[in-house]
Structure 1
C-alpha cells in the first residue's frame, strides 16, 4: 500500500483485509466520531468529547448462579472500558446477581443512559423487561439498544471459540463435519429467527459446513436432537458452538451434549466488546426521549 503524502490523512483500507478487520476498523471509527459528536438532549447542539455528560452505558446481563458468569461479564466490560476510556460503564442484571438493573439505574444521578443488553437475540427480556426497567427511572432519559445478535462480529467470536476448541480450516471441506449452534431459547419467534440468522452466518464463515440452531430451553430442537439430525445426514464429527455470553447452566448442559468439540461461551472476546460499543453508538443516533420513557433501537 502506498503511504499518503500527507501523514495526517487516513490510509486507505486494504481491500484484501478480512471481514473481521474491516468491521473492527469501521466500528472503531464510528464509535470515535459518535462519541466526539453526540447530540445534546436539550437543544440538538453538538458537544466535544471532553464533555462530562456522555450517556452512561448500562450493560444488562441476564444473571446466573454460576459464579463464572459475573467474572466473565466484568472482564468483558473491562475490555469495553479499555476501548472507550472516557465512557461511563455500569452493569445491571435482570435477575440472580447483584447489582440488579433497577438498583443500577436508581444509582445514576440523572441525565442520559443507554441500556445495552448482553443478550443475543430479541425476546421477552429485550422487549419487555428492559423498557419496563427504564420506565421505573424517571430521573433518567433512557434508550434501549438492540440485542447483540445477529451480527458478523458475533460470528467472528464464535469462529474463534471453535478454533480454540480444535476446529481447523480443513474441517470445513469435510462431508463428515457439522456444527450445532447452542442457544438459550425463547418462545418469541423473533428470537428463533435471530438465532437462525446467526447459524446461517456461521455456516458461511465455516465454508458451508451445516450449522443447526438448537436450544437449551423453551424451543426446539434441543442440542441432543440437533446432534441426532446431523448424524442422520451423515455428519459424524459434530461440534457445539456455545451461543452464550457467559458460562452458566445452559452452556454447561449444551457442551456436555457435544459428541466431538465443545466451544467455550463468547465471554470477554474482543469482538464482543466492540459489538457492545457498536450497539451503544447506534442508540446514540436516535433522538433522546422524555424522562421515564424508553426507545428500543432496531438491530
Structure 2
C-alpha cells in the first residue's frame, strides 16, 4: 500500500465545513461538518446498559447528528452490558488496516465524570478497532441554551425572544443539578453562570448525588430573595442519576424541567467534539 503523508491524510479525513442556508430560529447561521467518505465513525457512548428509553434517546440524537451536521450515520453504543456494548460496536467497525482510525467515541455526558470517563477510555484502549475518545459535550454555552429551552418547555421560565413566545416567567431562582461530586459541580458552574445571564435571574449549582447540596442551593436562592425556585437537570437523560431528579426537586419543594434529551444543541456539540478529537488524533 503506498505511503500516505500526514498532510494528505488529514485533508482526506477531516470534515469540511458547510454553512446551511439561513433560516429562522435560534440555530440560524449554524455551521455543520460534512464528513468525507471513509472518515472514522462517530460513536455516541451512552452510560449504563441498553434499555428502551435510553436507546430511543441516543438513537434520536444520533439521527440529528447525521441530518444536521455530519451527513453520515452515527452509531450508538452502551458502556455496560452486552447489548450494543461499546466493545462489540467497535469490533464491528474494524477494517483491514490495523493502523487505520475507525471510530471517534463521544460520551453522552454534560461534563467530566471520572467513572464514565474511566469506563470509556478503558473500552477504547481494549477495542479491537483503532478508536479515540472525545471530550464530554460540556461545559459549553450550548448546554446553557439547552437548559433554558427545557425550562421554557416546562413553562418555568420565559423562552428567549427569538422564539417569540410569551410565557410568564415562573422562576426567580434556578438550581442547576448535576450528577457527580464537587468537581462536577464546579464544572457545571460555568453553565450556571451562562444560564443566569440568559435568564437575568440567580442560578446556583448543586450535586444531584448529595441532598444537602441541593438543599443548600435552594436555601441560598431563597435567602437572596428568590420567591420561586425551580430545578434544571444538568444531564442528557440516560444517566442512572436521572432517577434522582424528581426526588431532589421534592426535597426542596420545587418543580423541575426535563433532562436535556435529544436537543439540537447536543447534536451540534457531539459533531464538534468529534471534529476536535479527530483533529488531535491526526496531528499526533
TM-score range, shorter chain: 0.7 to 0.9
Aligned length: 252
Mapping for residues 262-277 of structure 1, pairs under 5 Å: 262-277=256-271
Aligned partner of 2:220 in structure 1 is 229
Matched, 1:212 2:201: no
Matched, 1:181 2:186: no
Structure 1 residue 193 displacement after superposition: 2.6
Distance 1:153 1:265, change over 3 A: same
CA RMSD of aligned residues (A): 3.3
Kept after mapping to 1: 8 A contact 2:132/2:277: yes
Distance 1:246 1:236, change over 3 A: same
Distance 1:99 1:199, change over 3 A: same
Distance 1:64 1:184, change over 3 A: farther
Matched, 1:120 2:114: no
Matched, 1:62 2:24: no
Matched, 1:200 2:193: yes
Kept after mapping to 1: 8 A contact 2:157/2:170: no
Gaps of 5+ in 1: 1-9, 36-48, 290-294
Structure 1 residue 145 displacement after superposition: 1.1
| Partner residue of 1:21 out of 21, 27, 31 | 27
Gaps of 5+ in 2: 1-18, 160-165
Q: TM-score when scaled to structure 1?
A: 0.72
Greater relative CO (CA pairs within 8 A, separation 6+): 1
Structure 1: how far apart are the matches of 2:84 and 2:20? 43
The 4+ residue runs of structure 1 with deviation greater than 4 A are: 10-14, 173-176
Structure 1: how far apart are the matches of 2:152 and 2:82? 31
Q: TM-score when scaled to structure 2?
A: 0.76
Distance 1:138 1:283, change over 3 A: same
